[in-house]
Amino acid sequence: MKDMSHLPTFDDVIAAHDRIRPYIHRTPVLTSTYLNELTGAELFFKCENFQKAGAFKVRGASNAVFGLSDADAAKGVATHSSGNHALSLSYAAGRRGIPCHVVMPSTAPQAKKDAVKGYGGIITECEPSTTSREAVFAEVHAATGADFVHPYNDPRVIAGQATCSREFMEQVEGLDSVIAPIGGGGMISGCCLTLSNIAPDVDIFAAEPEQADDAYRSFKAGHIIADDAPVTIADGLKVPLKENTWHFVSNHVTDILTASEQEIIDAMKLTWARMKIVMEPSCAVPLATILKNPDVFKGRRVGVIITGGNVDLDKLPWMQ
């Protein structure tokens, strides 16, 4: 295991960006007149659903994989993930030509399992709880000696995710706020790292499902509160904060807002219908909270991070 207590700096973000640029897309920013009129805000959507491997997580995964020495890389990489980090690490490992071991909940969408295998990842299934996931992972990790790349607490991962908001600030001038979903806090920590360095006046909002509101409760309590197996359709947001992401969240986040399952589904369907993009339930949480808290965002220029597009098209939440 490597030292997780090292906090990444903005120099790490710049180095990460240079390292991963050949393997990622500079994703586009889309706008919607309709959604602007509906919310009274000026919304800019950073479309990481168009990212390589279908999600922002390829940024952090690529930074970890391509930062390894040849000797360490030869043993491969390993992780546990609710899906997109698994895809992304498999993609990055494939680009470097090294093995990638993935521990994944048996309940993860079939589309994500197939995609991991499609990128060459080797899956070991666990139960859909944090405790089971960590126990099974320990076995796999011991057996392979692969480099552990934590889905969000790894400093290399946080530095990689931070490249997203760096691009965003280059693409859109004068943002008042940035909002992104929060699960384990990797993307939000990346936003905190970048914005506290290059745009400290920009507010940072995190959006979370009411039914998996451990980050919200942690933020209000002042210490990490972790739930073992929350139930929400936003399946990327079930994991708890860890010490490194808690550092960034507790120091730099303006507020955490929550939305109900129905509000998330409605915002997801609305985005598909009006913006014509395929995105995951997790990505709809920010828009759901903007619609729920119009006074917070009205008249402001708001950057919304659409985190991924890996959806099981046979199981859309409004059809269940």
Instruction: Write out the residues near a second copy by the rule CB under 8 A.
Output: 28, 30, 49-50, 54, 111, 269, 272-273, 275-279, 309, 313-314, 316, 318-319
| CB 39 to a second copy: min, Å | 17
Shortest reach from residue 263's CB to a second copy, in Å: 17
123 strand-pairing partners:
102
Which CB atom, from 259 or from 279, has the smaller least distance to a second copy?
Answer: 279
Closest to 46 measured CA to CA, from 167, 128, 152: 167
H or E stretch at 157? helix 155-171
Q: How far is the CB of 168 from a second copy (least distance, A)?
A: 17
Q: Report the nearest approach of a second copy to the CB of residue 247 (Å).
A: 32
Question: 269 vs 300, which CB is nearer to a second copy?
Answer: 269
For a second copy, give the closer residue by CB, 142 or 313.
313
Q: In what order do the strands lie in the sheet with 255-259?
A: 29-30, 42-47, 301-306, 177-181, 203-209, 255-259
To a second copy, the closest distance from the beta carbon of 315 in angstroms equals 10
- Pinpoint the alpha helices (H) of 103-233: 110-118, 130-144, 155-171, 186-198, 214-221
Residue 158 or residue 283: which is nearer to a second copy going by CB? 283
Q: In whole angstroms, give the CA distance from residue 273 to residue 184.
A: 29
Tell which residue, 312, 210, 300, 212, has the closest CA to residue 254.
300
**Given the complex with a second copy, which of 59 and 133 has the nearer CB atom?**
59
Q: 291 and 242 in contact (C-beta within 8 Å)? A: no
CA atoms within 13 A on the CB side of 268: 26
Least Cβ distance, residue 278 to a second copy (angstroms):
4
Nearer to a second copy, 1 or 273 (CB): 273
